[in-house]
Amino acid sequence: MTENHIFGPVMSRRLGRSLGIDLLPFKTCSYDCVYCECGATTHLTKKRAEFFPTEEVISQLDTVLSKGPTLDYITFAGSGEPTLSLSIGRIIRHLKTAYPEYKVAVLTNGSLLGDKEVRNDLSAADLVIPTLTSTSQETFEQIHRPCPGLLTKTVISDIREFRKEFGGEIWLEIFLIPGLNTTDDELASLSEAIRMIRPKRIQLNTLDRPAAEDWVTAPDPDELENIRKYFAELKIPVDVAGVCCEQPDVCRAGESSMNRSKNPPHPAFDG
Ligand code: SF4
């Protein structure tokens, strides 16, 4: 049976009305994050592959997009790390050639950005949102349980290098877990890393649905607001998932989900 690779449109808390593309077999990832809302990683890998025929995904996209849906973004997300797919570059180029009216976003954990082929594959996208949680290798491993050999300092420098050569926008997702990466020391070193990366926006993300590990919680609203103010000192716009732009009192539409499927999209997609 042919797998369905397209989901939504969903009302993403961060990206508005988004059509999702999932290029991975469920749960194929270079991380096994404690906060993952898709559950535990069953295929932990950093080896890229064409997991499904590229033409199959393009054909499904053409079927949906030929109807001209109203979208804010077409988003690569789903049930694993999208840059593990060798199909992603060709599909992004197809989208930008055949449907230039749509913006393309990629949600990535950032762990493969040191690979020149990955950076080349993403080059035609409009927006890339990598994740950063900690500059400490110990905290990074506690949160992400990554493939052996992945180092947070390398991920940070790879995001920084990618930002220099990428023509689109980089927004940086900071996923916050109380007790792990919300201490003063963690926030100070994160702030320094953000200063070096210089993303266009910072997106603070927190747990919204049950996580892979049930002890993971979200910061309370006061703590979240304090962290938002702290990062705002960097003079980079800071968004809090679930609160639209800088007008939380007038724009609450982003908090609702639309057309949610039984299989939740990538946690960041809905964040
Ligand atoms: S949250 Fe994203 S990066 Fe982390 S395990 Fe889930 S799919 Fe992978």
Q: Is the CB of 24 under 6 A from ligand 1?
A: no
Q: What is the pLDDT of residue 242?
A: 58
Closest among 109, 117, 223, 111 to 174, alpha carbons compared: 109
Nearest ligand 1 atom to alpha carbon 32:
5
Q: What is the pLDDT of residue 268?
A: 47
- Ligand 1 pocket mutation, candidates 36, 131, 132, 133, criterion most atoms within 8 A of CB: 36
Burial category of 271 from C-beta neighbours within 10 Å (exposed 0-12, middle 13-18, buried 19 and up): buried
Q: What is the pLDDT of residue 12?
A: 82
- Domain spans in the chain, listed from the N-terminal domain onward: 6-255
Closest among 91, 85, 84 to 105, alpha carbons compared: 91
Q: Is the CB of 109 under 6 A from ligand 1?
A: yes
User: In whole angstroms, what is the distance from residue 184 CA to residue 227 CA?
Assistant: 10
Residue 14 C-beta-side C-alpha neighbours within 13 Å: 28
Question: Rounded to two decimals, what is the model's pTM?
Answer: 0.90
Sign of the alpha-carbon dihedral angle for 189, 254, 263, 73: negative
CA of 134 to the centre of ligand 1 (A): 15
Instruction: Provide the 3-class DSSP secondary structure of residue 115.
Output: coil
Fold of 6-255: TIM Barrel (3.20.20)
Q: Is the CB of 155 under 6 A from ligand 1?
A: no
Cβ neighbour number for residue 49 with a 10 Å cutoff: 13
In order along its 271 residues, the chain shows pLDDT tens digits of 678 999 999 988 779 999 999 999 999 999 999 999 999 999 999 999 999 999 999 999 999 999 999 999 999 998 899 999 999 999 999 999 999 999 999 999 999 999 999 999 999 999 999 999 999 999 999 999 999 999 999 999 999 999 999 999 999 999 999 999 999 999 999 999 999 999 999 999 999 889 999 999 999 999 999 999 999 999 999 999 854 333 322 222 222 333 333 344 444 455 4
